[in-house]
Amino acid sequence: MTSHQIPTPRDVMDLKARDSTGALYTLLCLGLTAVGIGLTQLGGIFPEITDWARALGWVLGHIVLAFALLQWFVLLHECGHGVLFRRSSLNVYVGHMAGFFCMIPFRAWTAIHSMHHKWTGWQDLDPTTAPLVPRELGKGERLLMNFCWKFWVPAFAVLYRVSNFWNPGRLAGAVRKREGRVRLAINAGVLLVLYGLLLWLVGPLELLLALGLGTALSLVLIEPIMISQHSHIPLENSGGAEVKAFKPQEQAVYTRSLRFPDWFSRAILLHFDAHELHHVYPYVPGYLLREIDYTADNEANWWTWIRMARRLPAEKLLFQNRNDTGSEV
């Protein structure tokens, strides 16, 4: 029996990270990644196999790789909060590894994501929602975003990563101290060097064939999940005035959760879909969130929400809210 009364932090104090569970999810993600890449390379590993088997392995490999990259994103998120493992050093090490696979510098992620949690509910102060403050959109801008959303082109997932985690201006606003900015630059520089080495050692075309489709599919998978979490929900705007940040237990109303099948939510997403619970209890590991006795008000079935959201033009889904459109999305 679930409750409509939000449990207090004291009620969930026993839900703490476990190194063994964090290691299990990390090994699972590494295994999925290895299997996915291995299947795409079946022709090179077993040159005697038929062309149809090689083609089937290539397609299946990219599908597996897409889910692996989706999970790397979730692990990046958990490590950023320091809740995948009990030991902070393990969260940092795996966080940098996840950042490599996600093409997001770990230090940039932690800087921007901490600002996101601080200012959730204030659309113009949260760096991840500030670009969606209502404004006059150009005709070309509207046509492009509506086309991408309608035809599942993950442009928003790409923009989210580039504009937040590779944007010097936004990062400078999130990290004020020089020492922190130097660490950001070093982290980003190391990643760029590693990606350059991969291109040089493997070759651009070979790397594209091995990782390109899986990477694109992973962006298709993650995009509606990310958009669902705070879009089309009535948010506050400070208008430049000094305001107080909402406390975690006040943030659920500004957040939406999607309900995926339990096995998928648990095994792949680590309950990343339970986003209302996560904002109220950001210190609880994702893999333990569903143990909290609370019914989220803004939770929606994943497929029902996606179907409804895809019917809305992107300009309305992203730059308006349900009070403006009357939509139940």
Read off the DSSP letter of residue 259: E
pLDDT given for residue 4 in this prediction:
60
Q: What is the mean pLDDT of residues 289-309?
A: 93
Question: What region, left, alpha or beta, does residue 240 occupy, with left being phi > 0 and alpha being psi -120 to 50 degrees?
Answer: left
The CA distances from residue 309 to 135, 138, 228, 298, 329, in Å, are 20, 22, 9, 15, 6
179-188 pLDDT, tens per residue? 999 999 999 9
- The two tokens of residue 219 are 């962006």
Q: How confident is the model at residue 50 (pLDDT cuts 50, 70, 90)?
A: confident
Choose between 126 and 10: higher pLDDT. 126
Q: Find the DSSP H helices in the chain.
A: 19-40, 42-45, 51-81, 88-102, 106-119, 139-150, 155-165, 168-174, 178-202, 204-207, 213-228, 262-267, 275-280, 302-311, 314-319, 322-325
pLDDT of res. 42? 87
Q: Is the pLDDT of residue 294 over 80?
A: yes
Residue 281 has pLDDT above 50, yes or no: yes
Percent of the residues in the chain that have a pLDDT greater than 90, as a whole number: 90
Contacts of 99 (CB under 8 A, 6+ apart): 76, 105, 106, 109, 187, 191
Average pLDDT over residues 14-28: 97
Average pLDDT over every residue of 162-177: 94
pLDDT surpasses 50 at 37: yes
Segment 3-23 shows an average pLDDT of 89
Secondary structure (3-state) at 299? strand
Among 203, 220, 213, 63, residue whose Cα is nearest residue 156: 220
pLDDT at 43: 77
Would you state the pLDDT for residue 44? Answer: 76
Long-range CB pairs of 228-231 (<8 Å, 24+ gap) are 228/256, 228/258, 228/275, 228/300, 228/305, 228/306, 228/309, 229/255, 229/256, 229/257, 229/275, 230/120, 230/126, 230/128, 230/129, 230/254, 230/255, 230/256, 231/132, 231/317, 231/318
Residue 295 structure tokens: 């019914």
Beta bridge partners of 258: 300
Look at residue 257 and tell me whether its pLDDT is greater than 60: yes
At residue 252 the predicted structure's pLDDT band, cuts being 50, 70 and 90, is: very high
Instruction: Residue count of the chain, please give it.
Output: 329
**Longest CA pairwise span in the chain (Å):** 68
Closest among 70, 65, 74 to 207, alpha carbons compared: 65
Alpha-helical regions (H) of 155-301: 155-165, 168-174, 178-202, 204-207, 213-228, 262-267, 275-280
pLDDT band at 296 (very low <50, low <70, confident <90, very high): confident
At 187-215, the pLDDT tens digits run: 999 999 999 999 999 999 999 999 999 99
The model's pLDDT over 56-105, given as tens digits with 9 standing for 90+, comes to 999 999 999 999 999 999 999 999 999 999 999 999 999 999 999 999 99
